[in-house]
Structures are given as C-alpha cells and as structure tokens.
C-alpha cells in the first residue's frame, strides 16, 4: 500500500492537513478553529500508519461513545471503501486491515476508563477533541504508545478547538510550550517533541466560502466565536472551573438511585431575550450515623457498609467505576458524605413568566419540591403589572409548588462554594444537564475582579445552578456549612442531629444500634427513641423488635 492509495486517490489532503501528516514530531496538535478538517485528518493518519506498517495496532478516540459514533466512526463508514479492510467488528469497533494491522475506535467517558488499554501497544493514538480529556488520561495513554515492530516510530496526535475541561493543559503543552500544573516529572518535558499545526476555517476549501457556516460561527457568544472562528487560545485564559472533569463530576441519571425522602429544590435564572435556565437539585444527605456504621462494618465484613468501604467511593482519589455511585437499599453508601445532585435542566428563551411556570410544573410530576430559588432581578416591579416573581409564583402555587424565594446573589461566594464542592466531589451533575456541563468549563475570571466570573453571553446555566448550590449546601451538609457557622450563617440542616426528616425512623434507629448483646441493644434503642421524640416532638415511633 502506498501513499497514493490513502492520501491520493481516496483522501485529498488540504495544505494544513498535509502539514499535519508530514510532521515528524512525536506529539502533534492539529486545529484551533472549527472546520479545518481535523477529524478527517486524524482518521486518515491512523489508516496510513496501519497500512504502512504490517501487523501494527492503532487507536482513535473520543471522550464519549455517542461522540465517537457521530464523528470518527461515521466518517470511517462513509469515506473508507470496503475493499481497503478485511473486516469491521461492529461490537468491538475494531477495523482489521488487509495487511493484518488494526484500528480500534475507543472512548473514555470516565477518568479511569483509560485503564482498559493497560497492556495494549499502539503505534499511533489519535484523540479527537483533545480538550475534552484530562491531563492524567493523556499521560497514561502516552505509556500505551509503543510498537514492537522494528523501524516504526510510535507517535500521538490530538485535534481540537480551544475551550472545555482540558483547555489549560493542552494550551500549555502545545501553544505555550511549558509543562502544565500536574504534569508528572516536568523536568522530562521536551518542547521539541510537540508540534502545533494551527488551522482555521479558511484552510478548508469546503467551508472557506460557505457564508452560512461562517454566519453561524459569527453569531456565537463572543468567547466561543473567538475560539471556533479565530482559533484564539487566549480566550479561555484564567479558566475558573479548571478542575471540572467529565466522569468525575458527572454521572448517568439512572446511577443516582434517588430516594423520595431526599430534599429537592429548584433554582431559576429568569430571562426572556436571554434564555431562562432552570435546574432541579436533590441532596444526598450526610448520614449522622456514619461513624457507627463504620465501626459495625469492622466487626461484620458482610454488612453493606463494609462492602461500600471496600470499593472505591465516588469522588475518591482511586477514581470511579461506572457503578461506584450506587448505594445500598436506601440508595446511598453507609458512611458517605453528603452530595448535591443536579439532576434535570430546562433552558429556553422567549417564555413569559406564566409559560415558564407551567413548563416547570409539567416537569415536576409528583415530586415534592421543598423550595424554589429565583434570580433577584425577577422580584423587581418594572411596570404596574405584577413582578416576574409574582406572575411565576401564581402558576407554581396553582400546581402545588412553592412560590419562588429570592436567591442569594453573592456571586463571589457562590462561585467559590461551587469550586469547593467540585474539589470535594460533593457536587454531581447528571449527563442530561448538557447546557450546564458545556457552560462550566468555559467560564473565566473577570480581569477587573479576579475572584468573580466574567459575565458573558451564554452564562445563564451557571448562574441558575449557583442560585441552587448555595442553599443546597445546607440540605446536604457539605461545603463551608460542614464547619461551625459564622455570624449570620444558618446552621447545617443535618450536621448536629441524629435523625433526618423523610427517612423512616425505624430504619434510622436500627442503623445506629451498635451494641452486641440483646439487653444493651434494647437500652440503646430506647435512648435513640427518646432523642427522636425530642427532635421531632410527640409522635408515634416504630414498634421495637426484640428478636436480635
């Protein structure tokens, strides 16, 4: 197979694509702006490596499986003729070429998914939208970039636009030519190994004169316009949520195991010309009996607490497995710290307050919502008509929901709390909240007030989430509220009590009875019953069962 086969008859490379293919550097980065043919260049680079080197393995990657299917796999199916390869395993997404070489299409949704490639050897690794990946994932994959075939040159390449979670480390390695923070053994960094082939929309003849596509990019918010149209890597300098990671701070909705008694609330950033953004949150509370459960698990390894402790907890340094969020029968792991879960979003512009209220009510179904927090500007009376908050509240109340309360608009304190919760792995966003997940990595610091986030077009999801995260810290017992409250600060909702509302008291008491013999257990049960009466007032408590 020669170059005329894969880069001539079947693939006519543009000038910038040809520059990418001809680079001899070990680590290449192609792109910058949108539309220069990055994905196609990666695909054909993997094909060329596979066809030129009999019996080698190559790897092409995206962060998630749907992205992989919609980009690299779709282009392979469309552009690569059937007589060029021996087979394509649809289940494993592995192409076997006519000379015995392979190309594998893979993805790394969670941080630790890269370990599925441990032990593998790839002559070439191409990563599409590299800024969607973390530095740790990239550095691990470099260890898989090797080939036992004599005379081969193992190398890797990424293609991407500026922005997203990996913006800072990608910019450091290829644009600034510096080892980024967190880079293992920075003294080993060699700028000569890295080559950045900058490309813009004008470098692709297909889109260079496409006025409609250019018009679409011109209409993007300022930051995204500079990133996607101009390939400006400085536009996201000072990224605020630089620690945000897909997989670490996100999860599938079905993995949560939400319980009906968990507190739930809604936060809203009102807008008409700009979108209104609405988020639903719930609190996985911090369990007051965590210590007792941990001690019990030491004595009885068969308990669910012991099993939970034996596995890597969600948010631990050891990383996450797909099932690590799931708890026991009550939907949470024994001894777990509290977490705020943002589990639903609704973002739309052009809705009147009453239309927005109806849309929210329709999405709540039979959920018990404890509070609704609304942006403070919605409470102002702009005309003689009722305020936005009053109009919205009428519809919500008519549907059995709380009237909105004015949200805390301490921007700096709110952003800092959100950062702290992400750092503690105490805030998790479900994957159906796509606008919020897209928005957070794009927020940058305000140059005039570095503690604040710069206000930009399209930041509505982040503002709406902030309105819900600040009060949510009390519900879940996380963040700054875990320590002693300061002046004017409300005490934690669950930190100083043994029992929480909603969850059956019998189950809560049973969890906290740790004595071994029957007499001691009965005494402990009575004491806990008395504490429950003191906390909740006179009520019928669960019947005791003495058959321990």
* Segment 283-299, tens digit of pLDDT: 987 655 444 444 444 33
**∠ CA(50), CA(53), CA(56), 5° rounding?**
65
Task: Give the model's pLDDT for residue 341.
Answer: 96
Buried b vs exposed e over 150-183: b needs ≥16 C-beta within 10 Å? eeeebbbbbbbbbbbbbbbbbbbbbbeeebbeeb
Confidence of residue 542 (pLDDT cuts 50, 70, 90): low
Residue 331 above 60 pLDDT? Answer: no
Given pLDDT bands bounded at 50, 70 and 90, which one contains residue 5? Answer: very low
Q: Who's near 31: CB < 8 A, 6+ residues apart?
A: 38, 159, 160, 161, 197, 198, 199, 231
Burial of 334 (0-12, 13-18, 19+ CB in 10 A): buried
CA 264 to chain centre: 21
Tens of pLDDT along 341-398? 999 999 999 999 999 999 999 999 889 999 999 999 999 876 667 899 999 999 999 9
Residues 6+ apart with CB under 8 A from 430: 250, 251, 252, 253, 256, 341, 342, 343, 344
Confidence band (pLDDT; 50, 70, 90) for 497? very low
User: Distance (Å, rounded) from C-alpha 128 to C-alpha 264?
Assistant: 38
Nearest to 59 by CA among 94, 18, 24: 94
pLDDT digits (tens, 9 = 90+) for 261-318: 899 999 999 988 889 999 999 998 765 544 444 444 433 433 433 333 333 333 333 3
DSSP H or E run through 251: strand 250-251
Higher-confidence residue: 23 or 539?
A: 23
User: What residue segments make up the domains of the chain, in order of their start?
Assistant: 3-230, 250-286+337-482, 499-548
Tell me which architecture the domain covering 3-230 has in CATH: 3-Layer(aba) Sandwich (3.40)
pLDDT tens digits along 210-225? 677 677 777 776 667 7
Pick from 123-127, 158-162, 254-258, 445-449: least confident: 445-449
CATH topology of domain 250-286+337-482: Nucleotidyltransferase; domain 5 (3.30.420)
Angstrom distances, CA of residue 281 to CA of 308, 345, 366, 473: 24, 9, 15, 11
Q: What confidence score (pLDDT) does residue 299 get?
A: 38
446-480 pLDDT, tens digit per residue, is 878 888 998 877 889 999 999 999 999 888 878 65
| pLDDT exceeds cutoff 80 at 7 | no
pLDDT of residue 513: 75
Rounded to the nearest 10 degrees, how much is the dihedral formed by the CA atoms of 270, 265, 256, 420? 80
CA 218 vs. chain centroid, Å, equals 27
- Round the average pLDDT of the chain to a whole number and report it: 80
Q: Which two tokens stand for residue 98?
A: 């006519």
DSSP letter string, 274-302: SPEEEEEEEEEPPPTTHHHHHHHHHH-TT
What order do you get walking across the sheet with 405-406 strand by strand? 250-251, 427-430, 339-348, 276-284, 264-269, 371-374, 405-406
pLDDT tens digits, one per residue of 162-211 = 877 788 889 899 998 999 878 888 899 999 999 999 887 766 666 666 67
């Amino acid at each position: 197979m020669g170059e005329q086969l894969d880069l001539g008859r079947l693939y006519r490379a543009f000038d910038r694509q040809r520059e990418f293919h001809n680079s001899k550097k070990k680590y290449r980065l192609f792109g910058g702006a949108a539309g220069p043919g990055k994905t196609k260049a990666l695909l054909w680079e993997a094909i060329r490596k596979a066809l030129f080197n009999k019996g080698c393995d190559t790897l092409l990657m995206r962060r998630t499986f749907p992205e992989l299917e919609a980009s690299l796999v779709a282009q392979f199916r469309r552009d690569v003729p059937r007589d060029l390869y021996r087979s394509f395993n649809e289940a494993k997404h592995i192409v076997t070429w006519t000379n015995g070489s392979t190309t594998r299409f893979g993805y790394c949704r969670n941080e630790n998914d890269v370990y599925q490639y441990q032990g593998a050897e790839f002559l070439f690794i191409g990563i599409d939208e590299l800024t969607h990946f973390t530095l740790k994932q990239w550095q691990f994959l470099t260890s898989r970039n090797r080939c036992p075939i004599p005379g081969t040159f193992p190398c890797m390449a990424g293609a991407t636009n500026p922005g997203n979670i990996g913006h800072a480390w990608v910019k450091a390695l290829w644009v600034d030519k510096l080892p980024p923070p967190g880079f293992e053994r920075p003294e080993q960094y060699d700028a000569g190994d890295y080559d950045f082939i900058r490309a813009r929309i004008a470098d692709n003849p297909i889109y260079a004169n496409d006025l409609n596509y250019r018009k679409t990019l011109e209409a993007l918010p300022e930051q995204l316009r500079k990133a996607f149209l101009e390939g400006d890597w400085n536009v996201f300098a000072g990224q605020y949520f630089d620690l945000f990671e897909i997989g670490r701070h996100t999860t599938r909705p079905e993995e949560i195991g939400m319980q009906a008694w968990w507190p739930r609330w809604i936060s809203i950033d009102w807008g008409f010309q700009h979108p209104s953004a609405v988020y639903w949150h719930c609190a996985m509370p911090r369990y007051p009996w965590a210590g007792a459960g941990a001690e019990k698990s030491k004595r009885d390894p068969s308990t669910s607490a012991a099993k939970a402790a034996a596995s890597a907890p969600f948010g631990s340094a050891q990383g996450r497995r797909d099932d690590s969020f799931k708890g026991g029968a009550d939907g949470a792991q024994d001894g777990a710290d509290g977490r705020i879960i943002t589990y639903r979003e609704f973002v739309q512009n052009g809705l009147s307050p009453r239309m927005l209220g109806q849309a929210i009510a329709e999405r709540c179904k039979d959920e018990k919502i404890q509070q609704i927090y609304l942006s403070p500007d919605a409470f102002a009376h702009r005309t003689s008509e009722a305020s936005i908050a009053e109009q919205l509240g009428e519809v919500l109340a008519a549907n059995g929901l709380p009237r909105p309360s004015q949200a805390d608009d301490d921007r700096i304190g709110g952003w800092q709390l959100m950062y702290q919760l992400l750092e503690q792995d105490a805030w998790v966003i479900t994957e159906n909240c796509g606008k919020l997940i897209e928005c957070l990595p794009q927020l940058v610091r305000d140059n005039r007030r570095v503690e604040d986030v710069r206000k930009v077009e399209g930041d509505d999801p982040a503002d709406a989430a902030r309105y819900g995260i600040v009060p949510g810290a009390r519900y879940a017992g996380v963040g700054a509220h875990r320590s002693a409250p300061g002046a004017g600060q409300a005490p934690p909702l669950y930190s100083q009590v043994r029992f929480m509302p909603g969850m059956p008291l019998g189950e809560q008491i049973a969890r906290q009875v740790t004595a071994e013999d029957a007499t001691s257990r009965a005494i402990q049960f009575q004491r806990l019953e008395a504490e429950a009466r003191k906390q909740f007032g006179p009520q019928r408590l669960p019947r005791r069962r003495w058959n321990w």
